[in-house]
């Protein structure tokens, strides 16, 4: 019975489907005018890899809706999407070459155009693209496009996503962006924005923008405000993701960023010129921030205590700066943190006991600082830790027995310190450990038998210590 009614339901659904989709009944399923336009478009391209071989005139492939990369509307039969990103195969992008033909204008229902990773041989973005007014998604990433961006693109008022990254484009300004009021996702990374002084004001005018990627654009610093106004979260731009890494930004960026302090989840500023301190006023209020990368940013002050107030952080990288002073106790408040990198600074003092409170940590790197004191027992509480690097400091005392409790550890580097005493038996409990470096310390005694229990061990470095019995050691690899 159940089977029968299921069958009935099925045929009813099929009927519904057929009625709802008149296009389904057509033999060609493709509008002739648009088919001709696509064939024109193909003629202007050089197709070295035969990617468009399905685009033909022969009887069995006349239906352009079945051509590679072409998608038609089930309702109207119009071509709505062209997905022609170059495929990666045999170690190269199989790019189309040639020029973007104006015949695309015939595809006036087009909402998606993806020509990324093709090779348009240094030509400019054709201005006619600005007339494809239904366009929602335009991706011209890494397509060997050059020269200036046509201001006609400002007409694409339905655009949700624009990716012009990795091209040789010049931008005098970004004023043309201001009418893209629906834009949610903007990627201009690796294009030259060095002359766009007022780029931040252009971004302020995009009321729907969520995702902004301007990495590696030669971005100049924001001109400092004459009357600095620190309005927290006062922007109407709902930015969630911001990548401004590898630019020339200075601390004048903070008042602008503060405008998004209530919405930002991801902030990448590494490789800039943010000399000075990590301003409490800036990051202290970014209460929802989950990802903060400030590595290689010329920071040269103490880490503020308020860092611990960023209670949503899961990823924090402050490596490669000139930060000094000690690691604040408050780090222990960041209970959601899974990645903490403070390596390559000038941090002193001892490692705070509170590290053990960061129970979500999986990656902790404090290497290449001037940390003193001993390794706190509390490290054993970081049971999710898989990568621990404390190398290149001035740590003394013995390796705590509690290391054996870090059962998730796969990489442990304590080299280049002044650790003494013997290697604890408990190391044998770290059965996932594949890399163990204890070299260049002052460890004594014999190597515990339990080393043989570390069944995952691939690399073991114990040289330049005062250990005995190295030559007798049986290692499981
Ligand atoms: C249109 O049809 C295709 C294949 O027949 C199907 O995969 C797709 O989900 C349909 N789209 C809509 C919006 O119905
Ligand atoms: C189906 O064919 C009819 C008549 O030939 C045409 O008017 C209609 O636009 C076609 N539909 C599609 C989806 O091509
Ligand atoms: C852009 O829009 C304006 C008016 O809104 C119109 O005059 C102009 O022709 C359009 N340009 C293109 C390239 O469609
Ligand atoms: C644009 O295309 C490239 C390559 O196909 C892809 O990696 C990138 O994510 C796309 N951009 C957007 C905004 O979808
Ligand atoms: C927010 O900005 C508006 C103008 O853009 C201003 O009038 C208002 O005082 C600001 N509010 C705060 C709390 O800064
Ligand atoms: C912050 O946002 C407000 C409202 O959009 C804007 O008026 C102000 O200029 C912005 N501040 C900065 C520093 O860009
Ligand atoms: C940061 O750099 C700028 C320009 O390089 C300089 O004028 C300023 O004094 C520096 N600030 C600090 C705190 O080092
Ligand atoms: C956070 O913002 C509030 C309201 O604008 C302000 O009073 C407070 O001082 C800010 N906190 C920090 C740490 O800057």
The string of pLDDT tens digits covering residues 169-223 is 988 889 999 999 999 999 999 999 999 999 999 999 999 999 999 999 999 999 8
In this structure, the residue with its CA closest to atom 3 of ligand 6 is 235
Cβ of 69 closer than 6 Å to ligand 2, yes or no, is no
* Residue among 133, 152, 181 whose CB has most ligand 3 atoms within 8 A, to mutate: 152
- Ligand showing the shortest atom-to-Cα distance for residue 255: 6
Specify the pLDDT at position 470. Answer: 60
Ligand 6 centroid from CA 445, angstroms = 64
Mean pLDDT, the chain, integer: 90
The string of pLDDT tens digits covering residues 107-122 is 999 999 999 999 999 9
- Ligand showing the shortest atom-to-Cα distance for residue 279: 8
Q: Are 402 and 375 in contact (CB under 8 A)?
A: no
- Determine the 3-state secondary structure of 256 from DSSP: helix
pLDDT > 80? residue 473: no
pLDDT > 70? residue 57: yes
Specify the pLDDT at position 230. Answer: 67
Per-residue pLDDT, averaged over 260-269, amounts to 94
Which of the four pLDDT bands, split at 50, 70 and 90, describes residue 21? very low
Q: What one-character-per-residue DSSP string does 160-191 give?
A: -EEE--SSEEE-S--GGGGG-TT--EEE-TTS
Scan for tokens 């400019």, then name that residue. Answer: 124
Which atom of ligand 8 sits closest to the CA of residue 285?
1
- Ligand showing the shortest atom-to-Cα distance for residue 151: 3
pLDDT > 90? residue 233: no
Residue 307: phi and psi, rounded to 5, are -55, -35
Ligand 3 centroid from CA 130, angstroms = 8
Can you list the pairs that 80-83 forms with residues at least 24 positions away whose Cβ atoms lie under 8 Å? 80/109, 80/110, 80/111, 80/112, 81/110, 81/111, 81/112, 81/113, 82/107, 82/110, 82/112, 82/113, 82/114, 82/115, 83/112, 83/114
Any idea what DSSP says for residue 398?
Answer: B
pLDDT > 80? residue 4: no
Scan for tokens 């995009």, then name that residue. Answer: 206
Structure tokens at 411: 């990489």
251-289 b/e (C-beta count within 10 Å ≥ 16 → b)? bebbbbbbbbbebbbbbbbbbbebeeebbeebbbbbeeb
Specify the pLDDT at position 313. Answer: 95
Specify the pLDDT at position 29. Answer: 78
In this structure, the residue with its CA closest to atom 7 of ligand 6 is 235
Beta bridge partner(s), residue 413: 389, 437
CA distance 116 to 164: 9
Per-residue pLDDT, averaged over 364-384, amounts to 96
Specify the pLDDT at position 275. Answer: 87
Scan for tokens 């301190």, then name that residue. Answer: 277
376-402 b/e (C-beta count within 10 Å ≥ 16 → b)? bebbbbbeebbbbbbbbbebbbebbeb
Cut 0.85: pTM above it: yes
Specify the pLDDT at position 62. Answer: 86
pLDDT > 90? residue 2: no
Can you list the pairs that 2-11 forms with residues at least 24 positions away whose Cβ atoms lie under 8 Å? none
Specify the pLDDT at position 229. Answer: 66
Which of the four pLDDT bands, split at 50, 70 and 90, describes residue 26? very low
Which atom of ligand 3 sits closest to the CA of residue 131?
14
Q: Beta-carbon neighbour count of residue 42 at 10 Å?
A: 18
Cβ of 141 closer than 6 Å to ligand 4, yes or no, is yes
Which atom of ligand 6 sits closest to the CA of residue 229?
13
Q: How many helices (DSSP H) and strands (DSSP E) are in the chain?
A: 5, 23
Ligand 1 centroid from CA 109, angstroms = 16
Pure H helices in 205-275: 254-258
Q: Lowest-confidence range among 124-138, 363-377, 408-422, 454-468?
A: 454-468
- Which percentage of the chain shows pLDDT scores above 70? 91
Secondary structure, 3-state, 13-59 = HHHHHHHHCHHHHCCCCCCHHHHHHHHHHHHCEECCCCCCCCCCCCH
pLDDT > 90? residue 6: no
Ligand 5 centroid from CA 234, angstroms = 6
């Amino acid at each position: 019975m159940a089977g029968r009614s299921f069958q009935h339901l099925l045929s009813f659904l099929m009927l519904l489907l057929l009625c709802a989709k008149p296009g389904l009944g057509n033999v060609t399923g493709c509008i002739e005018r648009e088919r001709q336009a696509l064939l024109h478009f193909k003629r202007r391209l050089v197709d070295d890899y035969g990617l468009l071989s399905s685009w033909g005139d022969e009887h069995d492939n006349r239906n352009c809706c079945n051509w590679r990369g072409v998608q038609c509307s089930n309702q109207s039969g119009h071509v709505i999407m062209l997905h022609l990103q170059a495929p990666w195969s045999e170690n190269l992008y199989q790019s189309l070459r040639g020029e973007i033909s104006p015949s695309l204008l015939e595809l006036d229902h087009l909402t998606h155009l993806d020509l990324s990773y093709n090779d348009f041989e240094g030509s400019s973005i054709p201005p006619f693209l600005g007339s494809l007014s239904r366009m929602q998604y335009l991706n011209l990433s890494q397509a060997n496009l050059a020269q200036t961006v046509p201001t006609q693109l400002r007409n694409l008022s339905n655009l949700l996503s624009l990716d012009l990254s990795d091209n040789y484009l010049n931008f005098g300004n970004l004023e043309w962006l201001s009418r893209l009021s629906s834009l949610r996702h903007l990627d201009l990374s690796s294009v030259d924005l060095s002359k766009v002084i007022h780029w931040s004001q252009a971004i302020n005018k995009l009321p729907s923008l969520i995702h902004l990627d301007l990495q590696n654009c030669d971005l100049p610093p924001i001109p400092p405000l004459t009357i600095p106004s620190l309005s927290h979260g006062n922007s109407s731009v709902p930015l969630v993701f911001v990548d401004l890494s590898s630019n020339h930004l200075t601390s004048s960026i903070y008042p602008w960023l503060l405008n998004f302090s209530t919405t930002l989840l991801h902030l990448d500023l590494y490789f800039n010129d943010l000399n000075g301190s990590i301003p409490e006023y800036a990051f202290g209020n970014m209460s929802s921030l989950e990802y903060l990368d400030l590595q290689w940013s010329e920071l040269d002050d103490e880490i503020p205590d308020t860092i611990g107030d960023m209670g949503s952080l899961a990823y924090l990288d402050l490596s490669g700066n000139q930060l000094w002073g000690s690691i604040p106790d408050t780090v222990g408040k960041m209970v959601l943190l899974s990645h903490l990198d403070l390596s390559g600074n000038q941090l002193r003092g001892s490692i705070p006991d509170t590290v053990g409170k960061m129970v979500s940590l999986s990656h902790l790197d404090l290497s290449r600082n001037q940390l003193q004191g001993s390794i706190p027992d509390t490290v054993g509480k970081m049971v999710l830790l898989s990568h621990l690097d404390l190398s290149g400091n001035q740590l003394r005392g013995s390796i705590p027995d509690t290391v054996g409790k870090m059962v998730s550890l796969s990489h442990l580097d304590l080299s280049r310190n002044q650790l003494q005493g013997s290697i604890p038996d408990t190391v044998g409990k770290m059965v996932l450990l594949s890399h163990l470096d204890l070299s260049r310390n002052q460890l004594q005694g014999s190597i515990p038998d339990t080393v043989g229990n570390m069944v995952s061990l691939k690399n073991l470095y114990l040289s330049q210590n005062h250990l005995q019995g190295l030559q007798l050691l049986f290692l499981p690899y």
